[in-house]
Structure 1
Amino acid sequence: MRVALATAVRTLPRGAGLAYEPKFDGHRLVVARSAAGVVLQARSGRIVTSAFPDLAAAALQLPAGTVLDGEVVVWHAGRTDFALVQRRAAATAARAAVLAQSLPASYAAFDVLELAGLDVRARPYERRRALLVDLLLPLGPPLQPVPMTTDPELAATWYETLPASGIEGLVVKRLDQAYPAGRRGWQKLRHTDVRDAAVVGYTGTPRRPLALVLVLPVGDETPLVSSPLTAALRREVAEAAAARGDAEAPATATTTVTAIGLGEVPYHALDPPLTAEVRHTSARHPPPEVLRLRTDL
């Protein structure tokens, strides 16, 4: 099942015929309920049913021939926690049954693609939304429709106030729009914050730094790896490292940090840290973008 995608925008779209949904910070998941049972498919197409037995069991309440599109999330301390979703997704079948008890998953559904065996993707979003709400509201958690509004002012309020709950931003859809399978037919407005971060290290070598290891002033202080540095920033970081005497440091770093999509990568630690101005849309993806070193601090 090819899922719909969204194009990033920098400002909140406004106009007649638009709908706004909060964008949850989780894993994209297609739920397919057939007469034979339930299949859970990740955005990549990988089948992940065994990783989420609690959602698979809940989806048995759906009528056969139902396909939903949405996001699997794990709530912790009043907000969605992406790291816990990753933990659930990576679990073996045996471990998944244990985690389903201690870290129960929720499904934030935002579209219905098939209902009782009928393909409804060609119907307008407004109609699909009504079908989704009628289907899921009687069932209740853990299968729930995401909130939706057609009021741009309420959407703007959501955008400003919901990040504390782990909401990444907004997804904007046209009410008259068919489901854009495999296409970027929706729009997404992510939260983008520009702020100072502590530079606790860098990847690469002292003479050729590749990325910075950052601790943001929000979140749980877990170090993050920045996006690749520009040539100008590489030179600036190399000069700053040389000024600290790092130019003679071993080329091979021994400290490691987890980088999204790369796993554990080695880095050179900086003590005391430097400071950099960074732009980031969320605590995990895409990685923070380094704008400049704050050599004035």
Structure 2
Amino acid sequence: MHAVPAADLPAGMIYEPKWDGWRCLAFIQPGRIMLQSRHLRNLTPYFPDVTRLLRSLPPGVLDGELIVWDPARERTNFVALQRRVVAGHRLPAEAAARPAHYVVFDLLHDGVDDLTGLPLVERRARLEALLVGAPPQLQLCPQTLDPAKARAWMVEWQHAGVEGLVCKAPDGPYVSGGRSWTKVKTRNTTEAIVGGVTGTLSAPGSLLLGRYDASGRLRYVGITNPVPASHAAELGQALVRYIAQRRGGTIPHPWPVPLPAGWAGQLGERRPLVYVPVQPTVVVEVLVDAAFDEEAGRWRHRAGFVRVRADLSPYDVMRAAAF
């Protein structure tokens, strides 16, 4: 099942936290466990700690989210999930140092019968019975029918890496590829400094965002979706190409050109990003979600442009952490 974006909570639904992890189906058979990603990738080799725990359950098919909890930051750690894929021979040490959790929210098969046609409330009741006494790393996903409680989760749990809510009909079946679930992301506005643009200065596309750290270095923190045409002219008038002279030569822009693919933080992005460096003097207000990579100091998802903040200096913007 897939969830489509919604602006607000629909009424009469079951509400569950939207975790910042990897969606994963778990196929449990006698002597064999398989973990499969939303894109049908086999994740089994990367999570031996989770597969070991799933062997304690009877045969069936579960749907849930793989997460890694960072006790030092008291939040989920998405980077630790990504490390599993590239750990190689270091995987056992990585799993021991940063164990994964499987947060389960649906039961699709009980080893005998296909349960996908049952209402969600019936599947949930069977799932709750299945996970009685399960180890802490196999977690039953919280859920509520109370919209007020769900909204409180959006506020209170975003610091822990919960991105928002997934809303599901209590009587709904589980339809593979279906899109009857909705997701509402927790989003907040904040300020950042424009350090570069895609496109041209007169017709900027996306904005590359930065913040100064305590040492005075401009740190890259993310990129926006394409700027609405109604704001492009205003930005084009305010942006100035980065040219700074000093004795002995030109002062380089603090970010490499093109921007390395790994900096962009977008899943699936494999190519460096060509952009135009600009003087870091323009402050913009942007809309961001809770998916913030604290280790890299960047937003993982693209920000939404809101407006130019001509009333703010770059030094009024929140400082970036130093790494």
Shift of 1:141: 1.9
CA contact (8 A) 1:225 1:259 kept: no
Amino acid at match of 2:83: R
Shift of 1:161: 1.1
1:93–1:243 CA distance, 2 compared to 1 (3 A): closer
- State whether structure 2 residue 264 is matched by structure 1 residue 258: yes
Amino acid at match of 1:296: D
Stretches of 4+ moved more than 6 A in 1? none
How many residues align? The count is: 284
Secondary structure of the residue aligned to 1:84 is helix
Report the counterpart of residue 165 of structure 1 in structure 2: 160
Report the counterpart of residue 289 of structure 1 in structure 2: 304
CA contact (8 A) 1:50 1:93 kept: no
CA contact (8 A) 1:51 1:93 kept: no
Amino acid at match of 2:144: T
Provide, for residues 164-218 of structure 1, a one-character-per-residue CA deviation record: whole Å limited to 9, x for no partner.
111111111121111122111112111121232222333345555432122479x
Secondary structure of the residue aligned to 1:265 is coil
Shift of 1:105: 0.7
CA contact (8 A) 1:124 1:176 kept: yes
Find the partner of 1:72 among 52, 66, 72. Answer: 66
CA contact (8 A) 1:137 1:144 kept: no
CA contact (8 A) 1:202 1:212 kept: yes
Report the counterpart of residue 53 of structure 2 in structure 1: 58
Shift of 1:274: 2.1
Amino acid at match of 1:5: H
Secondary structure of the residue aligned to 2:130 is helix
CA contact (8 A) 1:73 1:108 kept: yes
Find the partner of 1:272 among 261, 265, 280. Answer: 280
- State whether structure 2 residue 107 is matched by structure 1 residue 112: yes
CA contact (8 A) 2:53 2:135 kept: no
- Structure 1 window deviating more from structure 2 (281-290 vs 77-86): it is 281-290
Find the partner of 1:10 among 1, 4, 7. Answer: 7
Secondary structure of the residue aligned to 2:134 is coil
TM-score by length of 2: 0.79
Report the counterpart of residue 124 of structure 2 in structure 1: 129
Task: Give structure 2 stretches of 5+ with no counterpart.
Answer: 213-218, 245-251, 292-298, 313-323
Shift of 1:30: 0.6
TM-score by length of 1: 0.85
Question: How far apart are the structure 2 equivalents of 1:36 and 1:48?
Answer: 17
1:240–1:26 CA distance, 2 compared to 1 (3 A): same
Question: How far apart are the structure 2 equivalents of 1:103 and 1:139?
Answer: 19
Secondary structure of the residue aligned to 1:100 is helix
Secondary structure of the residue aligned to 1:242 is coil
1:95–1:204 CA distance, 2 compared to 1 (3 A): farther
Question: How far apart are the structure 1 equivalents of 2:55 and 2:305?
Answer: 46
Secondary structure of the residue aligned to 2:176 is coil
Shift of 1:291: 2.3
1:195–1:146 CA distance, 2 compared to 1 (3 A): same
1:199–1:137 CA distance, 2 compared to 1 (3 A): farther
Amino acid at match of 2:172: Q
Shift of 1:62: 1.4
Report the counterpart of residue 173 of structure 2 in structure 1: 178
1:266–1:40 CA distance, 2 compared to 1 (3 A): same
1:137–1:271 CA distance, 2 compared to 1 (3 A): farther
Find the partner of 2:81 among 85, 97, 117. Answer: 85
Q: CA RMSD in A?
A: 2.7
CA contact (8 A) 1:51 1:91 kept: no
Shift of 1:98: 2.2
Amino acid at match of 1:133: E
Secondary structure of the residue aligned to 1:184 is coil
Task: Give structure 1 stretches of 5+ with no counterpart.
Answer: none
Provide, for residues 241-268 of structure 1, a one-character-per-residue CA deviation record: whole Å limited to 9, x for no partner.
337669xx99x93554324032443544
Question: How far apart are the structure 2 equivalents of 1:167 and 1:274?
Answer: 31
Question: How far apart are the structure 2 equivalents of 1:239 and 1:137?
Answer: 62
Shift of 1:25: 0.8
Matches within 5 A, 1:242-257: 242=240, 253-256=257-260, 257=263
1:188–1:253 CA distance, 2 compared to 1 (3 A): same
